[in-house]
Amino acid sequence: MTDVLMPRLSDSMQEGTILTWLAADGDDIVEGQELVEVETDKATMTQLSDASGVLSIVVAEGTTVAVGEVIARLQPVGARAPAPVVAAAAPEPVAAAAPAPDGSPAATSNGGAPSPNGSAAEVPATPMARRIAGAHGIDLASLAGSGPRGRVVRADVMAAAGLDEAAPAPPASVRDPAPGAAAPPAADARTPDGPAGGRGGTERVALSRLQQLVARRMAEAKATIPEFQVQTEVEMTAAVAFRAQLKELAESQGLPAPSLNDLIVKTCALCLRRHPRANGSYADGAFELHDRVNVGVAVAAEDALVVPVIHNADSKTLGQIASESRRLAESVRAGTITPPELSGATFTVSNLGMYGMTAITPVINPPQAAILGVGAIRDVLARDGGGEIVDRKLLSLTLSCDHRILYGADAAKFLAAIKQLLESPLGLAL
């Protein structure tokens, strides 16, 4: 018999939550088969089986256990207990041989026990996709996944359910069962004075482990880090023209074109190398100066802010940064990002310019020394050196700093270096 333990999927992981078993009790498992989806403090991971045998599940879905605890056992094939397996499999032939023509869940779910022909449990899908599919009776096996390696993602299930992508239904596990959560008339019925004058319903949504981590880290940062900000405005006319040239060149070669945010990431990486304090952290009364420049890029996921990391960004070309940033962002939105891709950042860039925000004052992500907030580029009129009125493209940058390692002059010099390089962007090509 082989014990299946809760794996340690990152250095900071202390416990994990069983999201979805990808096989059923009594199934034959082969070594290397996808076995279970585990939610950690950094991401959701699919754990592969390290051995072969008959699966005996110990920890149910939705349960949180410590790293190293037994979550399942693999019995030798000859030790299969026939009674539970036969009882669970008895109704399957009828459902499999005569599926309902309307594709209802009762006809396609295989009674909850996966089969070699492709049950919902065997379909590669993100946890959010599974939750929404379960809430709306969507058979995952009937969907063509648009995620990496054919993985079914939230958007696939939303489209199949005919739901508006801009207003997704909450997962069934955290949805308020009160009628008012689903239909306005029911809400009016339970509030006699109507929504304007009476008491409305309250929906309590449980935080995912990732949301809990973000909340805890941000609260700790505000409570323990003596933070200050410096801000500047960058004249981005040259950078915008430079990016247009790069885009034309990249498209002619069938390559991803660097975005303005990619230019900012590369700029920060080069300046971090020249200003090691900004690439460091404060720990136990000492400065820790890192020899690698790893830039985190904040990405808005479905229900949380996720920061994948571009490692060794100072030594990568703009083309490499463009390709990697897109791949990481897609992995975040598809729910396939891995803990190593979220670990090791020494600095973070948080850009809200795409939402039209002119400036952002971000919160430091400890133990990093600083984080750069990026706003939207604004078209303004200004006078040039000769007094003529000209068009200018201005970008607001705000650097939030840990005062224990970065002092005002240090922060000003670092931000001034970023400004200078963005205003003369040819230096990024060297």
End-to-end CA distance of the chain: 58
**pLDDT value at 93 more than 50:** no
Question: Do 240 and 393 form a contact (C-beta atoms < 8 A)?
Answer: yes
Q: Give residue 76's pLDDT.
A: 86
pLDDT surpassing 70 at residue 108 = no
**Of the given ranges (52-56, 156-160, 254-258, 363-367), which has the lowest mean pLDDT?**
156-160
Rounded to 10 degrees, what is the CA torsion of 103, 107, 111, 115? -70
Across 107-111, 210-214, 226-230, the highest mean pLDDT is recorded for 226-230
How would you classify the pairing of strands 370-383 and 347-351?
parallel
Closest residue by Cα to residue 46 from 146, 151, 139: 151
Which band of pLDDT confidence, cut at 50, 70 and 90, is reported for residue 191? very low
What is the pLDDT, as a whole number, of residue 78? Answer: 67
Q: Is the confidence at residue 227, as pLDDT, over 60? A: yes
- Check pLDDT > 80 for residue 183: no
pLDDT at residue 95, as a whole number: 40
Model confidence at 126, in pLDDT bands (50, 70, 90)? confident
Quote the mean pLDDT of the chain.
79
pLDDT for 380 equals 92
Do 2-161 and 226-429 share a fold?
A: no
For domain 2-161, give the CATH number: 2.40.50.100
Lowest mean pLDDT of 25-39, 149-163, 278-292, 307-321, name the range: 149-163
Is 311 catalytic? The answer is no
Residue 232 and residue 417: Cα distance in Å, rounded?
Answer: 11
Catalytic residue chosen out of the listed positions 136, 290, 311, 403: 403
Give residue-wise pLDDT tens across range 306-353. 899 999 999 999 999 999 999 999 988 887 888 889 889 999 999 999
**Which segment of 97-106, 293-302, 362-371 scores lowest on mean pLDDT?**
97-106
pLDDT, position 42: 66
Q: How confident is the model at residue 430 (pLDDT cuts 50, 70, 90)?
A: confident
Has residue 273 got a pLDDT over 60?
yes
pLDDT top residue among 75 and 93: 75
Phi, psi of 363 (to 5 degrees): -95, 135
Looking at per-residue confidence, does 42 or 313 come out higher? Answer: 313
Enter the CATH code of domain 226-429: 3.30.559.10
Say which range, 118-122, 147-151, 181-185, 337-341, has the weakest mean pLDDT. Answer: 181-185
**Which pLDDT belongs to residue 301?**
76
Q: What is the pLDDT of residue 181?
A: 36
How is the chain split into domains, by residue range?
2-161, 226-429
In angstroms, rounded to a whole number, what is the distance separating the alpha carbons of residues 397 and 394? 10
Distance CA 273, CA 250 (A): 27
